Structure 1
Amino acid sequence: MTESKARVAPVDPVWDHIREEAKAAVREEPLLGGVIHSCILHHATLEHALAYRISMKLASSEMSEQLLREIVDRAYASEPELGRAARADIVAVYDRDPACHRFMQPLMYFKGFQSVQAYRVGHWLWRNGRRDLAYFFQMRVSEVFGVDIHPSARIGKGIMIDHAHSIVIGETAVVGDNVSMLHSVTLGGTGKEEEDRHPKIGDGVLIGAGAKVLGNIRVGNCSRIAAGSVVLHDVPPCKTVAGVPARIVGDAGCDQPSISMDQVRDIG
């Protein structure tokens, strides 16, 4: 057997699942056939589909879809971790968002997922010294999705941003793996200080709607920040904080609050 015949196609269960869902969706709603074919079924890989989706969303009279697609395609080809992170994000949204019933939904319809993938390309540009182009991506993501993530911020895998309205993540912020946040979350600074000035969010953290985490502080792994809280000081691992300013009000209530998505604190 020749070497070429011995090669086996790579296994990609997430992409295979998306394609099967897309075929079923076309059968169920033929009027969306053109869109679904363009976004999913015309592409051989998830990376190519993401490049198409991101470029179509961010295109404007200032920069064409074709040019943006060349940039995004190059990012995915140069950095395989971008594709791995996208797959982890899709699974995270499917597992945690009760409104997500199919793997194809984040790719097609959810601006939280789409904005994070566009940010990831901007971050790749930033790390490769293409700062102005990274800022352009940040601007377009903010204009299109209402999500403002500085391209220098570092964000892990398995991220779920539900509703994704008015999200702000600052330049020196760090977000760990398997973090969930809802709309109107800010990871910001406290003034005009320079250098390292934004929060560091640990793995498995749940950040409720409207929460503000400000300053170079640390939120420990698997902690929970209640909706509307203003967090100004470090949060230990596995705790729940609430209030303005936030204070510790109990344990996180489970091992993985970002996965359970339980935002209701038991009051004794």
Structure 2
Amino acid sequence: MAAATATNDSLWQTIRDEARRAMAADPVFGKSLADAVLVHDDFGAALADLIGRRLGGDATERARFTAFALDAFRGSPELIEAAGRDLQAIVRSDPAIASLLAPLLHFKGYVALQAWRVSHWLWRHDHRDAALLFQNEASNVLQVSIHPAAQIGASVYLDHATGIVIGANVVIGDEVTLLQNVSIGRSSELPTRSPRIGRGVYIGAGATILGDISIGDFAKIGAGTIVTSDVPGGCTAVGNPARLTNCPEPASVA
């Protein structure tokens, strides 16, 4: 936990340095940077305020969402660690991004994912109505609907992040990238079971993943693919219905 705290402190200092440089380069934009970044003492406070700004329609709602987020971050500091890893994953994954500040302030997929982290914390602490409120507002405002009962790892990137739907009890591992219009959830045949997405999986735009299935580590799901059966690790699934291609060669036996 001490190492995570040090990493978050370093990350926060980098963000503040980027904000100061941006203010010097563009004083008109600088006021918004001061309000969003420089007035806050730490990354958690800035992130809670960001969630409140994006989800709250007026000052009262903004304060309520911010307060919920602050409670979650104070109750579970690992949420801040995950948020930092998510932010760094965007910079690693997106060649158009060269700084932490831009995705923090402007990428709705990032704030939607952090709002989900708060909603999941609320859900686990039996604040179900508040958790569903977060889901509803994120869906209405950000076009991203993630059920509070889902489970999502860290270093996750919701790229473009319009029309993403992730249902209850879906499990998503670390280092996963999802593009726009992805749906992951239960099927009508097995309504009590949801997909399990492994580490490092890439899910292309418009893909649908349904049912009691597993997507193995580092698999790729092509754009528009409909997946209703398991995808082994390292394979690429394309088409409707999905077919497998580019699977790793099985290890030879001496």
TM-score if structure 1 supplies the norm length? Answer: 0.87
Match of 2:252 in 1: none
Residue 145 (structure 1) shift: 0.5
Structure 2 residue 20 is matched with structure 1 residue 20: no
Residue 232 of structure 1: how far off its partner (Å): 0.8
**One-letter amino acid of the counterpart of residue 117, structure 1:** Q
Quick one: which of 220, 223, 229 aligns to 1:233?
229
Per the TM alignment, residue 62 of structure 1 is displaced from its structure 2 partner at its CA by: 9.9
Q: Partners in 1 of 2:81 and 2:157 — Cα distance?
A: 15
User: What whole-Å deviation, never above 9, does each CA across 1:94-138 have from its counterpart, x for those lacking one?
Assistant: 000122221111210000111000010000000000001100000
Aligned residue identity for 2:208: K
Moved over 3 A (4+): none
For 1:162-177, list aligned pairs within 5 A. 162-177=159-174
Q: Which residue pairs with 1:104 in the alignment?
A: 101
The structural deviation recorded for 1:33 is: 1.3
Q: 1:67 to 1:192 in 2, by over 3 A?
A: farther
Aligned-residue identity in percent: 39
Change (3 A) 1:252 1:112: farther
Q: Distance in 1 between matches of 2:156 and 2:183?
A: 15
CA separation of 1:61 and 1:21: change in aligned 2, threshold 3 A: closer
CA contact (8 A) 1:223 1:252 kept: no
Q: Provide the rounded CA distance (Å) in 1 between the counterparts of 2:234 and 2:15.
A: 34
Contact kept in structure 2, 1:222 and 1:252, CA below 8 Å: no
- Per-residue deviation at 1:93? 0.3
Question: How far, CA to CA, are the matches of 1:187 and 1:235 in structure 2?
Answer: 14
Residues paired across the two proteins, number: 244
What amino acid does structure 2 have at the position aligned with 1:251?
Answer: C
**Paired residue for 1:137?**
134
Q: CA deviation at 1:172?
A: 1.3
Matched, 1:249 2:221: no
Q: CA deviation at 1:67?
A: 2.1
Structure 1: distance between partners of 2:169 and 2:244 = 25
User: What one-letter code is carried by the residue in structure 1 that aligns with 2:70?
Assistant: D
* SS of residue paired to 2:145: strand
Deviation at 1:28, TM superposition (A): 1.2
CA contact (8 A) 2:190 2:212 kept: no
- Structure 1 residue 60 displacement after superposition: 2.4
TM-superposed CA distance for 1:66, in Å, is 1.6
User: What is the distance in 1 between the residues matched to 2:217 and 2:130?
Assistant: 33
What SS is found at the alignment partner of 2:184? strand
The answer to whether 1:125 aligns with 2:146 is no
Q: Residue in 2 aligned with 1:79?
A: 76
Q: Could you tell me how far apart the structure 1 residues matched to 2:166 and 2:248 are?
A: 23
Compute the displacement of 1:190 (Å): 1.9
Q: How far apart in 2 are the matches of 1:39 and 1:82?
A: 19
Counterpart residue number, 1:68: 65
Taking the TM superposition and a 5 Å limit, the aligned residue runs for 1:148-159 are: 148-159=145-156
CA–CA distance in structure 1, aligned partners of residues 248 and 210 of structure 2: 20
Q: Would the aligned equivalents of 1:240 and 1:252 in 2 still touch at CA under 8 Å?
A: no
